[in-house]
Amino acid sequence: MTALKKIYQSLITKWQAITEYRFFLPAFFIVGLLFCIVVSCFDLMDQYIQLILMYIGINIILTVSLNLINGYMGEFSVGHAGFMAIGAYIASLLTIGVFPQSSGSFFFPLAVLAGGIGAALIGFLVAIPSFKTRGDYLAIVTLAFGMIVKSIIENIDAIGGPRGLLGMDKLSTLPWVFFWTALSVWIIRNLVYSNFGRGVLSIREDEIASDLMSVNTRQVKVIVFVVSSFFAGIAGGLFAHVLQYINPRMFDIIKSTDILIMVYLGGIGSIAGSILGAVIYTVLLEVLRPLGVWRMVFMPLMLVLLMIYRPRGIMGLRESRLFTPISDLLSMKFHRQKKEADNASS
Amino acid sequence: MIYILQQALNALQLGSIYALIALGYTMVYGILTMINFAHGDLFMVGAFFCFLIAVYLKLSFVPTLLLSMLGVASLGVIIERFAYKPLRNAPRVSAIITALGVGLFLENFTLALSPYPQHIPTLINSTTWNLGGVSVSSLQIIIIVLSLALMFILDFIVQRTKVGMAMRAISWDKTIVPLMGVPVNKIISLTFAIGTGLGGAAGVMYGLAYPVIDPYMGIMVGWKAFISAVVGGIGNIRGAMIGGFILGSVEIMVAAFLPSTYRDVVSFALLLILLIFRPYGILGKPHPQKV
């Protein structure tokens, strides 16, 4: 027992040392990207596992971006799949129709980006009227928005209507998904710890107080909503090119519920939590596949139990050291040492 | 003209079903300020209870309706007791997520038990009358009259009885009311029982009107009923009834004059437009945030 404790202690100190090392995350990014490129070029991994990894990446993007609204800002949005659908359709239409098929892989990032920008524009249109009042208003508006997007796509025959859209090449490869995932996590993490991000957090804690502290709450909310829908659009573009087939029913309310579950499973207001939530949910769904229909019975049951015994999710409102800024870590360390010194002297 | 009258009758039928479900949303919201997203699935469970009772017990319409309402009401109370009560002091969002989880559980559990759509046998031998060109079936009349009767009973309970007074008091102020000797837990359970029982009744009627039922039927109908509750002003019981009839008429009229695939787009767009001008619904009152 004591031996185990010792090992745990030494691991903790090592972990602290690693997280205080400035270049750990960039190094992790480069190594991971190289690893993904090597794996997908030389086909070192089972195709099925690669597919699961790509799904995990896409789900991480979705979860982290929804966490920005639901976790950090404390609003309740339920229409994330709608933005995903917009991104997926724009990106697929671009790669099928506009960009030359032969050099599709060069234009793929542009297509994904365009999908994100399209989703962000629509997000802007939704956000302007949604933040007139607080509370469940946003939930209702985004709910209606998700259903409107689905019905509109079903009614446009030129993009396949209810039959769906197919003919995309398999352009989403493991390195691309890794790149976009890392990029979105990086951007959202920096956004949260920026000056602007503090404003976002203050809205969650007390909107009136933050208004009095000269945070332009309306503007901050709109910007956060636009950023979040941008990343949902990007995830949609990637998703369409993994599956090579999309139809409007994929992006209905059940998909939005899935994303919500990942956010609240991992814990609100935590990037590490979102990543954990997306990974656990995606992997569990795959591992439990032999159970057939019953796995879909156990997943919600687990969610309910989790909510009853840990209402904030796995990492609720706590952040892994990996994603906290170095300055915060150092000041935390300084205060801890000072406290220990005080205790020792007294 | 006759066409419009005919559609108005259909609208009344659909609207009364929406209104019954919307009442469940609005009652739970009024008393707990929580959106019970599992309510649409309780409606689905009501239709499945109706199917089970009609096929295996071979009862007639009235006992089937009462038994289904009773079954769904007890299910609602059990869900409240085991899933929502532990979260009463947790952040509101956890309760909403729990409700989503309970809804998914009900859907998938029913799906695991009955993978194929089921067909409810005819419980009422419907006769169709022709009133000056408008065809009226006795089933439609029964659905409309029964739902109106249920709504009037509910309105009577809430406005005129002691229990109803307790419900209104709890939704007014949750901290003072227990000090006045109101058994809060019992009243909340009763609210859940009544609200989900009405949902179960709506499930039975929906099953009789559109006899093919499947485990996912509750999602769309449930969300639409929720939107009716919002249109009427969530938390307001009369508002939920009005909202249900409004949404039912809009849907039927859109389907009557436009291609029916535009039904959802138009009804949700109308919801958004309404919310821009009246953010608290038709009968809802704004509750400004106090510092």
Beta-carbon separation of B264 and A264 below 8 A: no
Residue A96 Cα, gap to closest chain B Cα (Å): 26
Number of domains in chain A: 1
Contacts of B103 in chain A (CB under 8 A): 300
Contacts of A141 in chain B (CB under 8 A): 272, 275
Pairwise CA distance, residues B284 & B79, whole Å: 28
Query: What CATH number corresponds to the domain at position A136?
Result: 1.10.3470
Of A266, A267, A272, residue with least CA distance to A185: A272
pLDDT of residue A135: 64
User: What's A251's DSSP letter?
Assistant: G
Q: Nearest 5 degrees, angle CA B53-CA B54-CA B58?
A: 95
Residue A326 Cα, gap to closest chain B Cα (Å): 31
Q: Is B214 touching A (CB cutoff 8 A)?
A: no
Residue A10 CB neighbours (<10 A): 10
Residue B118: its H or E element? strand B118-119
Beta-carbon separation of A154 and B261 below 8 A: yes
Inside any domain, residue A8: no
pLDDT tens across the length of chain A (346 residues): 788 888 888 888 887 777 777 777 788 888 888 888 888 888 777 888 889 999 999 999 999 999 999 889 888 888 899 999 999 999 999 988 877 766 767 788 899 999 999 999 999 998 887 877 666 678 888 888 888 898 889 888 888 888 888 888 887 888 889 999 999 999 999 999 999 999 999 988 888 889 898 888 889 999 999 999 999 999 999 999 998 899 898 888 888 888 988 898 888 888 999 999 999 999 988 888 888 778 888 888 888 888 888 878 888 777 877 787 777 778 888 888 889 888 888 7
Inside any domain, residue A14: no
In order, the DSSP letters of B198-259 are HHHHHHHHHHHHS-EE-TTHHHHHHHHHHHHHHHH-TT-HHHHHHHHHHHHHHHHHHHHHS-
Q: What are phi and psi of B128, to 5 degrees?
A: -110, 125
pLDDT of residue B203: 93
Residue A80 Cα, gap to closest chain B Cα (Å): 15
CB pairs under 8 A between A and B: 120
Inside any domain, residue A33: no
Q: Is A148 touching B (CB cutoff 8 A)?
A: yes
| Range of weakest confidence among B46-55, B211-220, B237-246, B265-274 | B265-274
- Walk me through the domains of chain B, giving residue ranges and CATH numbers: 2-277 (1.10.3470)
Interface residue of B80, B104, B276, B290 to substitute, partner A, most A CBs within 10 Å: B104
Q: Which residue of A has its CA nearest to B100?
A: A257
First-last CA distance in chain B? 55
Of B104, B109, B48, residue with least CA distance to A294: B109
pLDDT of residue B230: 86
Beta-carbon separation of A155 and B86 below 8 A: no
A237: β partners:
none
Beta-carbon separation of A264 and B94 below 8 A: yes
Q: How far is CA B118 from CA A86, B199, B206, B211, B212, in A?
A: 35, 19, 13, 8, 6
Q: Is A239 touching B (CB cutoff 8 A)?
A: no
Residue B55 Cα, gap to closest chain A Cα (Å): 25
Contacts of A293 in chain B (CB under 8 A): 108, 111-112, 115
Beta-carbon separation of A155 and B262 below 8 A: yes
Look at chain B and count its residues: 291
Q: Is B208 touching A (CB cutoff 8 A)?
A: no
pLDDT of residue B178: 87
pLDDT of residue A196: 92
The model's pLDDT over B18-73, given as tens digits with 9 standing for 90+, comes to: 999 999 888 888 888 888 889 999 999 999 999 999 888 888 888 899 999 999 99
Q: Which residue of A has its CA nearest to B90?
A: A311
Beta-carbon separation of A141 and B272 below 8 A: yes
pLDDT of residue A185: 92
Q: Which residue of A has its CA nearest to B112?
A: A293
pLDDT of residue B80: 92
Inside any domain, residue A265: yes
Beta-carbon separation of B230 and A254 below 8 A: no
Beta-carbon separation of A311 and B90 below 8 A: yes
Beta-carbon separation of A133 and B279 below 8 A: yes
Contacts of A277 in chain B (CB under 8 A): none
The packing angle between helices B39-52 and B2-32, to 10°, is: 110
Beta-carbon separation of B223 and A70 below 8 A: no
Q: Is A303 touching B (CB cutoff 8 A)?
A: yes
Interface residue of A72, A73, A151 to substitute, partner B, most B CBs within 10 Å: A151
| Range of weakest confidence among A100-104, B3-7, B170-174 | A100-104
pLDDT of residue B93: 78
Interface residue of B100, B227, B251 to substitute, partner A, most A CBs within 10 Å: B100
Domain span at residue A127? 45-345
The model's pLDDT over B71-129, given as tens digits with 9 standing for 90+, comes to: 999 999 999 999 888 888 877 778 888 888 899 899 989 988 888 888 888 877 778 88
User: What's A47's DSSP letter?
Assistant: H
- The residues near B89 (Cβ < 8 Å, ≥ 6 apart) are none
Contacts of B96 in chain A (CB under 8 A): 76
Inside any domain, residue A4: no
Residue B100 Cα, gap to closest chain A Cα (Å): 8
pLDDT of residue B291: 59
Do A80 and A256 contact (CB within 8 A), yes or no?
yes
Inside any domain, residue A79: yes
Q: Which residues of B21-37 are buried (b: 16+ CB within 10 A; e: fewer)?
A: bbbbbbbbbbbbebbbb
Inside any domain, residue A136: yes
Inside any domain, residue A340: yes
Do A72 and A140 contact (CB within 8 A), yes or no?
no
Beta-carbon separation of B87 and A308 below 8 A: yes
Q: Is B183 touching A (CB cutoff 8 A)?
A: no
